[in-house]
Protein backbone atom coordinates (compact mmCIF):
# COMPACT_ATOMS: atom_id res chain seq x y z
CA UNK A 1 0.00 0.00 0.00
CA UNK A 2 1.45 3.37 -1.04
CA UNK A 3 1.21 6.17 1.51
CA UNK A 4 -0.47 9.31 0.18
CA UNK A 5 1.81 12.20 -0.59
CA UNK A 6 1.75 15.37 1.48
CA UNK A 7 0.24 17.18 -1.50
CA UNK A 8 -2.55 14.62 -1.79
CA UNK A 9 -3.25 14.87 1.93
CA UNK A 10 -3.43 18.64 1.76
CA UNK A 11 -5.76 18.45 -1.24
CA UNK A 12 -8.00 15.99 0.55
CA UNK A 13 -8.16 18.09 3.68
CA UNK A 14 -8.92 21.18 1.59
CA UNK A 15 -11.76 19.38 -0.15
CA UNK A 16 -13.15 18.24 3.19
CA UNK A 17 -12.92 21.75 4.57
CA UNK A 18 -14.58 23.21 1.50
CA UNK A 19 -17.32 20.63 1.67
CA UNK A 20 -17.87 21.39 5.33
CA UNK A 21 -18.02 25.12 4.64
CA UNK A 22 -20.53 24.65 1.83
CA UNK A 23 -22.63 22.41 4.04
CA UNK A 24 -22.54 24.97 6.86
CA UNK A 25 -23.60 27.68 4.43
CA UNK A 26 -26.49 25.56 3.16
CA UNK A 27 -27.63 24.84 6.73
CA UNK A 28 -27.37 28.54 7.60
CA UNK A 29 -29.32 29.55 4.49
CA UNK A 30 -31.94 26.91 5.25
CA UNK A 31 -32.32 28.19 8.81
CA UNK A 32 -32.62 31.78 7.58
CA UNK A 33 -35.29 30.74 5.08
CA UNK A 34 -37.23 28.83 7.75
CA UNK A 35 -37.01 31.75 10.19
CA UNK A 36 -38.13 34.17 7.47
CA UNK A 37 -41.09 31.96 6.54
CA UNK A 38 -42.11 31.63 10.19
CA UNK A 39 -41.94 35.41 10.66
CA UNK A 40 -44.06 35.98 7.56
CA UNK A 41 -46.62 33.40 8.69
CA UNK A 42 -46.89 35.04 12.12
CA UNK A 43 -47.28 38.47 10.51
CA UNK A 44 -50.07 37.22 8.22
CA UNK A 45 -51.82 35.52 11.16
CA UNK A 46 -51.68 38.78 13.11
CA UNK A 47 -53.37 40.61 10.24
CA UNK A 48 -50.43 42.95 9.67
CA UNK A 49 -50.44 45.05 6.47
CA UNK A 50 -48.61 43.17 3.72
CA UNK A 51 -47.12 44.38 0.44
CA UNK A 52 -46.19 41.88 -2.27
CA UNK A 53 -43.38 43.75 -4.04
CA UNK A 54 -42.85 42.71 -7.68
CA UNK A 55 -39.54 42.60 -9.50
CA UNK A 56 -39.23 45.71 -11.66
CA UNK A 57 -40.22 44.78 -15.25
CA UNK A 58 -37.75 47.28 -16.69
CA UNK A 59 -34.99 49.76 -15.83
CA UNK A 60 -35.33 52.57 -13.30
CA UNK A 61 -33.44 55.86 -13.48
CA UNK A 62 -33.26 57.58 -10.12
CA UNK A 63 -34.36 61.08 -11.15
CA UNK A 64 -37.44 61.73 -9.04
CA UNK A 65 -39.87 60.76 -11.82
CA UNK A 66 -41.78 57.50 -11.95
CA UNK A 67 -42.10 57.38 -15.72
CA UNK A 68 -39.49 54.65 -16.22
CA UNK A 69 -40.39 51.17 -17.55
CA UNK A 70 -39.58 49.71 -14.14
CA UNK A 71 -42.53 51.64 -12.69
CA UNK A 72 -44.95 51.61 -15.63
CA UNK A 73 -44.85 48.16 -17.24
CA UNK A 74 -47.19 45.42 -15.95
CA UNK A 75 -47.74 44.21 -13.33
CA UNK A 76 -47.00 47.64 -11.88
CA UNK A 77 -45.60 48.42 -8.43
CA UNK A 78 -46.99 47.46 -5.05
CA UNK A 79 -49.01 50.31 -3.52
CA UNK A 80 -49.74 51.16 0.09
CA UNK A 81 -52.77 53.30 -0.75
CA UNK A 82 -53.67 56.15 1.60
CA UNK A 83 -51.57 56.71 4.68
CA UNK A 84 -53.86 57.00 7.71
CA UNK A 85 -53.99 59.02 10.90
CA UNK A 86 -53.76 57.34 14.31
CA UNK A 87 -57.56 56.99 14.42
CA UNK A 88 -57.58 55.06 11.13
CA UNK A 89 -59.04 57.80 8.93
CA UNK A 90 -57.37 58.50 5.56
CA UNK A 91 -54.88 61.33 5.93
CA UNK A 92 -55.16 64.62 4.15
CA UNK A 93 -53.04 65.83 2.52
CA UNK A 94 -52.73 62.52 0.68
CA UNK A 95 -49.62 60.34 0.91
CA UNK A 96 -48.78 56.95 -0.56
CA UNK A 97 -45.80 54.76 -1.41
CA UNK A 98 -45.12 52.46 -4.34
CA UNK A 99 -42.47 49.72 -4.34
CA UNK A 100 -40.56 47.47 -6.74
CA UNK A 101 -37.20 45.75 -6.53
CA UNK A 102 -34.40 44.92 -8.91
CA UNK A 103 -30.82 43.74 -8.56
CA UNK A 104 -29.29 44.98 -5.34
CA UNK A 105 -31.97 47.56 -4.49
CA UNK A 106 -35.46 48.03 -3.13
CA UNK A 107 -37.02 51.04 -4.86
CA UNK A 108 -39.61 53.18 -3.09
CA UNK A 109 -41.61 56.04 -4.60
CA UNK A 110 -42.68 58.31 -1.74
CA UNK A 111 -45.48 60.66 -2.81
CA UNK A 112 -46.84 63.63 -0.84
CA UNK A 113 -49.60 66.02 -1.80
CA UNK A 114 -48.65 69.31 -0.14
CA UNK A 115 -49.89 72.91 -0.26
CA UNK A 116 -46.86 74.26 1.60
CA UNK A 117 -43.58 72.37 1.07
CA UNK A 118 -41.16 73.06 3.92
CA UNK A 119 -37.58 71.75 4.04
CA UNK A 120 -34.92 73.55 6.11
CA UNK A 121 -32.43 70.78 6.94
CA UNK A 122 -29.37 71.39 4.74
CA UNK A 123 -27.03 68.43 5.24
CA UNK A 124 -27.41 64.64 5.07
CA UNK A 125 -27.46 62.96 8.51
CA UNK A 126 -28.43 66.20 10.27
CA UNK A 127 -31.24 65.95 12.80
CA UNK A 128 -34.50 66.62 10.98
CA UNK A 129 -35.80 70.04 12.03
CA UNK A 130 -39.27 70.17 13.65
CA UNK A 131 -40.61 72.45 10.89
CA UNK A 132 -39.52 70.13 8.07
CA UNK A 133 -41.78 67.95 5.95
CA UNK A 134 -40.36 64.42 6.05
CA UNK A 135 -40.91 60.78 5.19
CA UNK A 136 -39.74 58.19 7.73
CA UNK A 137 -39.08 54.63 6.55
CA UNK A 138 -38.43 52.01 9.23
CA UNK A 139 -37.37 48.46 8.40
CA UNK A 140 -37.39 45.82 11.14
CA UNK A 141 -35.61 42.45 11.22
CA UNK A 142 -35.88 40.56 14.50
CA UNK A 143 -34.74 43.11 17.12
CA UNK A 144 -32.87 45.37 14.68
CA UNK A 145 -34.48 48.51 13.25
CA UNK A 146 -33.20 50.56 10.32
CA UNK A 147 -34.45 54.14 9.99
CA UNK A 148 -34.27 56.38 6.92
CA UNK A 149 -35.67 59.92 7.09
CA UNK A 150 -35.98 61.77 3.78
CA UNK A 151 -36.82 65.45 3.26
CA UNK A 152 -38.22 67.16 0.14
CA UNK A 153 -34.62 68.10 -0.70
CA UNK A 154 -33.88 64.35 -0.99
CA UNK A 155 -31.53 64.56 2.01
CA UNK A 156 -31.26 61.29 3.92
CA UNK A 157 -30.68 60.91 7.65
CA UNK A 158 -30.22 57.23 8.51
CA UNK A 159 -29.62 55.34 11.74
CA UNK A 160 -29.86 51.88 13.29
CA UNK A 161 -30.78 50.50 16.70
CA UNK A 162 -30.76 47.08 18.29
CA UNK A 163 -32.99 45.71 21.00
CA UNK A 164 -34.90 48.97 21.39
CA UNK A 165 -31.76 50.84 22.44
CA UNK A 166 -30.52 54.22 21.29
CA UNK A 167 -30.38 55.09 17.59
CA UNK A 168 -26.85 54.91 16.16
CA UNK A 169 -26.59 57.81 13.72
CA UNK A 170 -23.13 56.75 12.53
CA UNK A 171 -24.72 53.91 10.52
CA UNK A 172 -24.80 54.53 6.77
CA UNK A 173 -27.43 52.73 4.71
CA UNK A 174 -25.86 53.59 1.36
CA UNK A 175 -29.33 54.60 0.13
CA UNK A 176 -29.77 57.08 -2.70
CA UNK A 177 -32.63 59.55 -3.22
CA UNK A 178 -33.82 61.97 -5.87
CA UNK A 179 -36.65 64.48 -5.74
CA UNK A 180 -39.38 66.06 -7.82
CA UNK A 181 -41.27 69.13 -6.58
CA UNK A 182 -44.29 70.97 -7.91
CA UNK A 183 -44.21 74.26 -6.02
CA UNK A 184 -41.86 76.70 -4.33
CA UNK A 185 -40.12 75.27 -1.30
CA UNK A 186 -40.23 77.30 1.94
CA UNK A 187 -42.60 79.92 0.53
CA UNK A 188 -45.75 79.91 2.69
CA UNK A 189 -47.35 82.59 0.52
CA UNK A 190 -47.44 80.30 -2.51
CA UNK A 191 -49.79 77.42 -3.28
CA UNK A 192 -47.73 74.27 -3.77
CA UNK A 193 -49.03 71.01 -5.21
CA UNK A 194 -46.86 68.02 -4.35
CA UNK A 195 -43.44 66.53 -3.88
CA UNK A 196 -42.04 63.09 -4.42
CA UNK A 197 -38.93 61.05 -3.65
CA UNK A 198 -37.43 58.11 -5.50
CA UNK A 199 -35.49 56.10 -2.97
CA UNK A 200 -33.11 53.19 -3.67
CA UNK A 201 -32.25 51.15 -0.57
CA UNK A 202 -29.47 48.52 -0.82
CA UNK A 203 -30.63 45.10 0.32
CA UNK A 204 -27.22 44.47 1.85
CA UNK A 205 -27.77 47.31 4.32
CA UNK A 206 -30.90 45.53 5.58
CA UNK A 207 -29.26 42.12 5.87
CA UNK A 208 -31.05 40.86 2.75
CA UNK A 209 -29.82 39.26 -0.45
CA UNK A 210 -32.48 40.49 -2.87
CA UNK A 211 -34.11 37.13 -3.60
CA UNK A 212 -37.67 36.07 -4.33
CA UNK A 213 -39.48 35.14 -1.12
CA UNK A 214 -37.46 37.34 1.22
CA UNK A 215 -39.47 39.53 3.57
CA UNK A 216 -38.83 42.23 6.12
CA UNK A 217 -40.93 44.42 8.40
CA UNK A 218 -41.54 47.93 7.11
CA UNK A 219 -43.45 50.98 8.30
CA UNK A 220 -43.82 54.36 6.61
CA UNK A 221 -44.88 57.73 7.94
CA UNK A 222 -45.09 61.23 6.55
CA UNK A 223 -45.17 64.41 8.64
CA UNK A 224 -46.50 67.62 7.13
CA UNK A 225 -46.44 71.29 8.09
CA UNK A 226 -49.78 72.69 6.87
CA UNK A 227 -50.41 76.34 6.06
CA UNK A 228 -52.56 76.61 9.14
CA UNK A 229 -52.54 74.39 12.18
CA UNK A 230 -50.07 72.07 13.91
CA UNK A 231 -47.78 69.49 12.34
CA UNK A 232 -49.61 66.30 11.39
CA UNK A 233 -48.26 62.80 10.78
CA UNK A 234 -49.84 59.83 9.02
CA UNK A 235 -48.56 56.32 8.48
CA UNK A 236 -48.75 52.90 6.89
CA UNK A 237 -47.83 49.72 8.77
CA UNK A 238 -46.92 51.45 12.01
CA UNK A 239 -47.81 50.21 15.50
CA UNK A 240 -48.71 52.63 18.32
CA UNK A 241 -45.26 51.85 19.78
CA UNK A 242 -43.66 53.20 16.61
CA UNK A 243 -42.36 49.80 15.55
CA UNK A 244 -42.92 48.36 12.09
CA UNK A 245 -45.82 45.94 11.85
CA UNK A 246 -46.25 46.17 8.07
CA UNK A 247 -44.26 43.70 6.00
CA UNK A 248 -42.99 43.49 2.42
CA UNK A 249 -42.39 40.28 0.48
CA UNK A 250 -40.23 40.14 -2.65
CA UNK A 251 -41.92 38.42 -5.59
Indicate left, alpha or beta for 62 from its phi (over 0: left) and psi (-120 to 50: alpha). Answer: beta
Residues 6+ apart with CB under 8 A from 100: 53, 54, 55, 56, 60, 70, 71, 77, 78, 107
CATH match of 49-250 with 2.60.40.1190: yes
Q: Are 77 and 198 in contact (CB under 8 A)?
A: no
Instruction: Find out whether 162 and 206 touch, Cβ atoms under 8 Å.
Output: no
Measured between alpha carbons, how far is 87 from 123 in angstroms, rounded to an integer? 34
Instruction: Locate the DSSP E strands across the chain.
Output: 50-53, 78-79, 95-102, 105-113, 134-141, 144-150, 156-162, 176-182, 194-202, 215-224, 232-236, 247-250
How does pLDDT run across 119-177, given as a tens digit for each residue?
Answer: 999 898 888 888 899 999 999 999 999 999 999 999 999 999 999 999 999 999 999 99
Locate the domains of the chain by residue range. 1-47, 49-250
> Looking at residue 11, what is its pLDDT?
53
* Residue pair 146/31 in contact by the 8 Å Cβ criterion: no
Interatomic CA distance for residues 224 and 226, integer angstroms: 6
**DSSP per residue, 62-81:** -SS---SHHHHSTT--EE--
Neighbouring C-beta atoms of residue 109, cutoff 10 Å: 21
Q: What is the pLDDT of residues 147-157, one digit of tens each?
A: 999 999 999 99
User: Which of the two residues, 42 and 223, has the higher pLDDT score?
Assistant: 223
Determine the pLDDT at residue 29: 47
Amino acid sequence: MVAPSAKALCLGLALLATGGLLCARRVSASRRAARSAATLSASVSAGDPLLHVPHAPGPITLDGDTDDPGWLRPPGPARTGDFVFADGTPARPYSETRAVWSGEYLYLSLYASDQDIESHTDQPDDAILPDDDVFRVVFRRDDVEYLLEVTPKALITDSIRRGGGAWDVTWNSGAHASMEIDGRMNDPKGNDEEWGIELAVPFEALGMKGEVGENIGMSLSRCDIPKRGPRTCAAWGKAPTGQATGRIVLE
